[in-house]
Amino acid sequence: MNASAGTPATHDGFDVARVRAEFPLLARTVHDGKPLVYLDNANTAQKPRCVIEAVDRFYRERNANVARAVHALSEEATDLYEGARTALARFINAPSAQELVLTSGTTMATNLVAYSYLLPRLEPGDSVLTTRMEHHANIVPWQLVCERRGARLKAAALEANGELRVDEFIALLTPEVKLACVAHVSNVLGTVNPVREIAAACRKRGIPLLVDGSQAVPHMPVDVRALGCDFYAFTGHKMCGPTGTGGLWARRELLADMPPFFGGGEMIREVRIEGSTFADPPARFEAGTPNIAGFVGLAAAVAFLESLDMQRIAAREQVLLDYATARLQEVPGLRILGSAAHKAAVISFLVEGAHAHDLATLLDLEGVAVRSGHHCAHPLMQFYGVPATCRASFSFYNTEAEADVLVAALRKARKLLV
Ligand code: PMP
């Protein structure tokens, strides 16, 4: 029996049963027939049939390299790849598809900014500003380039409830800061940061702002123009697309001024042994054969999310968050980390007397997939003084019934561990 059975098919005008039917993997069982309850969506999302079929169809019918050959297949593949760029740009309301660099994900996007934008501008004594809640992908690239230049990384603190101390972040925007970076949504706490306010403060001081949108783009409407940031990074596999896809949106004038980070085919204008000249953005930053099939799948994922409507996805996930939070609070000894007023459907928790990994292992035996560990956010774990948490992260295809299974499995695990 699927975990969605027993719950009404329609929630808040959102037909969850029909949506779930689009995801073949959600029907599978684990550990001798336990229905899978997949609550690890912040790690990666499951893929709807249309994405799987788009990738399959590409390899069956269209496979060719892009932007290189004049034959029909190559033109079709190029059109599909550039079509994905257009669809993604529209999805985040970028002013132009030419401002969107297609990358292997957020990690490649932040590294591109680190080496291509930041490194040439950093001088000894400069700094980069981030926060204590960031994923390592929004910390380590800045550290690597800061070390090379004698610059340093600063981090704004958090409130105990997991909200960013925005006043402190703004106070740290001092003249030696060459780049400010913030997550749109925390992958551990679910905190939604006030990016517009932060972007306005950065703009006033002439400091470019990079937003890590990995956990926002899959869960809410994102409009980079309205946000007012300068760089926006995101990853495709968390938005129902294939792994190895993602993007970096950057203002045209910033991209135009950035030297290449990777060299190779397709990013050049002319190559001579004495030296080379480079293509305009975004091609300048897309050396080598890209993940063509992956982006074809990601374009299908965008169409799927658009058909569900991001506003309705966000509303549905808020209902799930409220329900799951209330149910989890009934479990004795359970503490939720992160109770920001503006929060996405990510719930990190600890149970007194039980280690996060033991809990996750016992939950897994009941069919419930959650993540345990530091979630690639060591500084955040240090802030809370814990080595690890359990994290249940929801998607629009999850159900209240699945939250109930999580709670029942936690009660059972608690009896064994505490
Ligand atoms: N930032 C955040 C907030 C994330 O959640 C993740 C993925 N866990 C990343 C960055 C890195 O994304 P990717 O591994 O797809 O590059």
Q: Where are the domains of the chain?
A: 10-35+309-417, 51-306
H or E, element range at 34: strand 34-35
Pocket test for ligand 1, best of 113, 186, 231, 235 (most atoms within 8 A of CB): 235
Centre of ligand 1 from the C-alpha of residue 297, in Å: 19
**Choice among 181, 229, 376, 390 that is catalytic:** 376
51-306: which CATH number, 3.40.190.10, 3.20.20.210, 3.40.630.30, 3.40.640.10? 3.40.640.10
Give the pLDDT confidence score for residue 70 in this predicted structure: 86
What is the three-class DSSP state of 308? helix
How far is residue 279's CA from residue 265's CA, in Å, rounded to a whole number?
Answer: 10
Q: Is the CB of 135 under 6 A from ligand 1?
A: yes
Q: Is the CB of 258 under 6 A from ligand 1?
A: no
**pLDDT per residue over 20-41, tens digit each?**
999 999 999 999 999 999 999 9
Give the pLDDT confidence score for residue 11 in this predicted structure: 63
Question: Using alpha carbons only, what angle is made at residue 358 by residues 28 and 399, rounded to the nearest 5 degrees?
Answer: 40
Return the amino acid letter for 11. Answer: H
Residue 284, burial from CB neighbour count under 10 angstroms (0-12, 13-18, 19+): buried
Burial 354-373 (b: 16+ CB within 10 A, else e): bebeebbebbbebbbbbbbe
Q: Is the CB of 107 under 6 A from ligand 1?
A: yes
Residues 215 and 238: beta-carbon distance below 8 Å: yes
How far is residue 134's CA from residue 213's CA, in Å, rounded to a whole number?
Answer: 11
Is-catalytic flag, 229? Answer: no
Q: Which residues contact 190 (CB under 8 A, 6 or more apart)?
A: 162, 321, 338, 340, 343, 344, 345, 346, 347, 348
Give the pLDDT confidence score for residue 81 in this predicted structure: 97
Centre of ligand 1 from the C-alpha of residue 214, in Å: 6
Please determine whether the domains at 10-35+309-417 and 51-306 fall in the same fold group of CATH.
Answer: no
How far is residue 389's CA from residue 383's CA, in Å, rounded to a whole number?
Answer: 13
Centre of ligand 1 from the C-alpha of residue 272, in Å: 38
**pLDDT per residue over 79-105, tens digit each?**
999 999 999 999 999 999 999 999 999
- Nearest atom in ligand 1 to the alpha carbon of residue 235 is 15
Residues of the chain with pLDDT under 50: 1-7
Give the pLDDT confidence score for residue 6 in this predicted structure: 43
Is 10-35+309-417 a CATH 3.90.1150.10 domain? Answer: yes
What is the three-class DSSP state of 191? strand
Q: Is the CB of 235 under 6 A from ligand 1?
A: yes
Give the pLDDT confidence score for residue 5 in this predicted structure: 41
Centre of ligand 1 from the C-alpha of residue 8, in Å: 33
